């Protein structure tokens, strides 16, 4: 967990090639780099599920120190340079993010050695939020949590859009797919399908 709001930051790597991506470096960039250095991984991309400051705070540190490109879904890209300003509304200071080097679209594939990361468009928490599907599970950002869903009352959010995104995109995955959310513990698609009260018809 990183940053003042304790967001989950993930390092996903391919053991054979040693390549890795960092998903949602929301802060504590030096600590993330320390973990990377223990492998050491070659970081080939920094991925944001969306442009909120608690998921983007260490973008600059990570991209500057690793040389990796920054990638984010298209409709959240314009908000990246403004994310640190939103932190001030909570009395927090966060570093400004650089702009994206690559804009991600639904269906894009990011290759990390022999691993493929597939991009899902999951708006609703933000106007352009996304999720990343890998062989080890789906990284859902702030769309879906264990037993809950992301907020939809912030600028760019919409409750109905969020529910549709979760049901049509994330719940289309197999029940045994692990879900790694932006905050809190991991879960599975099947568990959320069966028990998440926000997703019951």
CATH code of the domain covering residue 96: 3.60.15.10
Indicate the SS3 state at residue 74: helix
Q: Which helix (H) or strand (E) holds 60?
A: helix 59-66
On whether residue 159 sits in a domain, the answer given is yes
Report CA-CA distances (Å) from 53 to 59, 68, 134. 10, 19, 24
pLDDT of residue 201: 80
For 127-179, the pLDDT digits (tens) are: 999 999 999 999 999 999 999 999 999 989 999 999 999 999 999 999 999 99
On whether residue 110 sits in a domain, the answer given is yes
Residue 95, pLDDT above cutoff 90? no
On whether residue 189 sits in a domain, the answer given is yes
Indicate the SS3 state at residue 160: helix
Alpha-carbon gap, residue 14 to 64, rounded angstroms = 22
Domain extent at residue 167: 10-199
Our count of domains for the chain comes to: 1
Sign of CA dihedral 123, 10, 147, 54: negative
On whether residue 122 sits in a domain, the answer given is yes
Residue 27 near residue 119 (C-beta atoms within 8 A): no
On whether residue 126 sits in a domain, the answer given is yes
What's the CA angle centered on 33, arms 31 and 37, to 5 degrees?
120
Checking DSSP bridges between strand 130-134 and strand 115-121, what pairing results, if any? antiparallel
On whether residue 118 sits in a domain, the answer given is yes
Cβ-proximal residues to 188 (8 Å cutoff; 6+ apart), any chain: 175, 176, 177, 178, 179
On whether residue 2 sits in a domain, the answer given is no
Alpha-carbon gap, residue 36 to 119, rounded angstroms = 23
Alpha-carbon gap, residue 75 to 87, rounded angstroms = 20
Alpha-carbon gap, residue 160 to 63, rounded angstroms = 35
On whether residue 1 sits in a domain, the answer given is no
Task: Kindly report the pTM of this predicted structure.
Answer: 0.94
For 18-64, the pLDDT digits (tens) are: 999 999 999 899 999 999 999 889 999 999 999 999 999 999 999 99
């Amino acid at each position: 967990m990183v940053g003042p709001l304790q967001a989950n930051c993930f390092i996903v790597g391919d053991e054979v090639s040693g390549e890795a991506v960092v998903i949602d470096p929301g802060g504590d960039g030096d600590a993330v780099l320390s973990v990377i250095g223990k492998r050491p991984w070659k970081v080939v991309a920094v991925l944001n599920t969306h442009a909120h400051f608690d998921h983007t705070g260490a973008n600059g540190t990570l991209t500057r120190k690793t040389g990796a490109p920054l990638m984010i879904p298209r409709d959240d890209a314009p908000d990246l340079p403004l994310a640190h300003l939103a932190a001030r509304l909570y009395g927090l200071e966060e570093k400004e993010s650089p702009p994206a080097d690559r804009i991600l679209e639904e269906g894009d594939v990011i290759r990390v050695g022999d691993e493929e990361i597939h991009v899902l468009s999951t708006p609703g928490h933000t106007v352009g939020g996304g999720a990343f599907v890998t062989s080890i599970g789906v990284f859902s950002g702030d769309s879906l949590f264990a037993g809950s869903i992301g907020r939809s009352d912030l600028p760019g959010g919409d409750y109905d859009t969020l529910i549709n995104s979760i049901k049509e995109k994330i719940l289309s995955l197999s029940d045994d797919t692990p879900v790694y959310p932006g905050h809190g513990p991991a879960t599975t698609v099947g568990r959320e399908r069966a028990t998440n009260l926000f997703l019951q018809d």
